[in-house]
Structure 1
Amino acid sequence: MMLRTFAFLALAMLAGPAFAQQKVNITADLFSIDEATSTAVFTGNVVVVHPTVTVWAPKVVATYGAGGTTDIKTFEATGDVKLETSEQTATGQRAVFTPGDQLLRLTGNVIVVNEGGTVNSDELVVNLATNVSTFTSGQNGRVTGIFTSQ
């Protein structure tokens, strides 16, 4: 439940129709759109604020399809990435969401914290279609968790 709630809120913000239905505020030091490559790039102290999740990153790139910015194909945040909901915080080096397969992938020193505990790994993949969250670690690494009871 811990990660499913987080993933649902994060993905709701990033899915194409959510942009049209919800107010999303994005601030950055620089914003550019490249219509030739269908990319919107935000750089420098990027903050994406949605009613249910806030994302902080040095750089965010959204790739969109024929429907324009409401037709998001990928959403990628890189650098020291932080995603926060009212119930939990997740950090890593790169977060990629692809609406087509409903996968959110957070990689690079992943830490997820909520009132139930903390999980550390190299990668977290959340499949919103199946509600399965998978933590993995790389070579010789281990997934670790500290859980607290209520």
Structure 2
Amino acid sequence: MKRSAIALAVMLFLGIGPALAQNPVEITSDQFVMNETAHEAVFTGNVVVVHPTVTVWAPKVVATYGEGGTTDIETFIASGGNVRLKTKDQDATGDQAVYTPGDQLMRLTGNVTVVNASGTVNATELVVNMATGVSTFTSAGGGRVTGVFTSQ
């Protein structure tokens, strides 16, 4: 039961719909703690989450869930700096990634860099609305969003 809840949390974080729930998700880490009192599952130390469409690396991954139990995921957080999300078409890095199923928003913050075949974008924050497919890059502290794009 708990293992499938973690797989669901990972799939929600990665924007993978229930139709793909049968795909295997492999999570490795130095330590895994399931704290039912705090309603959280915590992976720490060299965490690697592998799904057929995306791989996530982070020092720490925490899934919190509500009163509905482990299928009621409230947040999925990859943190500790050096957070990386890699798909077939792009590679994104930042200090922290947070997915909240309630609003279907994925936020990658802190030294964000996204690289794909058409170029590179750097920003302070990337917000991806999983429901609409809209990605918004922003910058803070007087900085600017920068991009270098190449023609194909």
* TM bin (shorter chain): 0.7 to 0.9
Counterpart residue number, 2:120: 118
After superposition, the Cα gap between the structure-2 partners of 1:54 and 1:76, relative to the gap in structure 1 and judged at 3 Å, is same
Q: Give the whole-Å Cα distance in 1 for the aligned partners of 2:13 and 2:34.
A: 26
Aligned length: 140
Aligned mate of 1:138, from 131, 137, 140 = 140
Counterpart residue number, 1:39: 40
Counterpart residue number, 1:89: 91
In the TM superposition, residue 131 of structure 1 has moved relative to its aligned partner by 1.8
Counterpart residue number, 1:60: 61
Q: Give the whole-Å Cα distance in 1 for the aligned partners of 2:74 and 2:29.
A: 21
Counterpart residue number, 1:4: none
Q: Give the whole-Å Cα distance in 1 for the aligned partners of 2:68 and 2:19.
A: 14
Q: Give, as a single letter, the amino acid of the residue that structure 1 aligns with 2:144.
A: R
Query: Does structure 1 retain, via aligned residues, the 8 Å contact 2:13–2:106?
Result: no
Deviations 1:57-101 (A, max 9, x none): 000000123444333211000021000001110000000000110
Task: State the superposition RMSD in angstroms.
Answer: 1.9
Q: Give the whole-Å Cα distance in 2 for the aligned partners of 1:71 and 1:84.
A: 26
Q: Give the whole-Å Cα distance in 1 for the aligned partners of 2:41 and 2:103.
A: 21
Query: Does structure 2 retain, via aligned residues, the 8 Å contact 1:88–1:113?
Result: yes
Query: Percent of aligned positions with the same letter in both sequences?
Result: 69
- Structure with the bigger RCO (C-alpha within 8 Å, sep 6+) is 1
Q: Give, as a single letter, the amino acid of the residue that structure 2 aligns with 1:11.
A: G
Unmatched segments (≥5 aa) in structure 2 = 1-11
So what's the TM-score if we normalise by structure 2? 0.85
Aligned mate of 1:106, from 84, 105, 108 = 108
In the TM superposition, residue 20 of structure 1 has moved relative to its aligned partner by 4.4
After superposition, the Cα gap between the structure-2 partners of 1:65 and 1:19, relative to the gap in structure 1 and judged at 3 Å, is farther
Bigger strand fraction: 1
After superposition, the Cα gap between the structure-2 partners of 1:23 and 1:37, relative to the gap in structure 1 and judged at 3 Å, is same
Query: Does structure 1 retain, via aligned residues, the 8 Å contact 2:13–2:99?
Result: no
Q: Give the whole-Å Cα distance in 2 for the aligned partners of 1:70 and 1:26.
A: 17
In the TM superposition, residue 18 of structure 1 has moved relative to its aligned partner by 6.9
Counterpart residue number, 1:75: 76
Counterpart residue number, 2:5: none
Q: Give the whole-Å Cα distance in 1 for the aligned partners of 2:68 and 2:48.
A: 24
Structure 1 stretches of at least 4 aligned residues deviating more than 6 Å after TM superposition: none
Q: Give, as a single letter, the amino acid of the residue that structure 2 aligns with 1:97.
A: Y
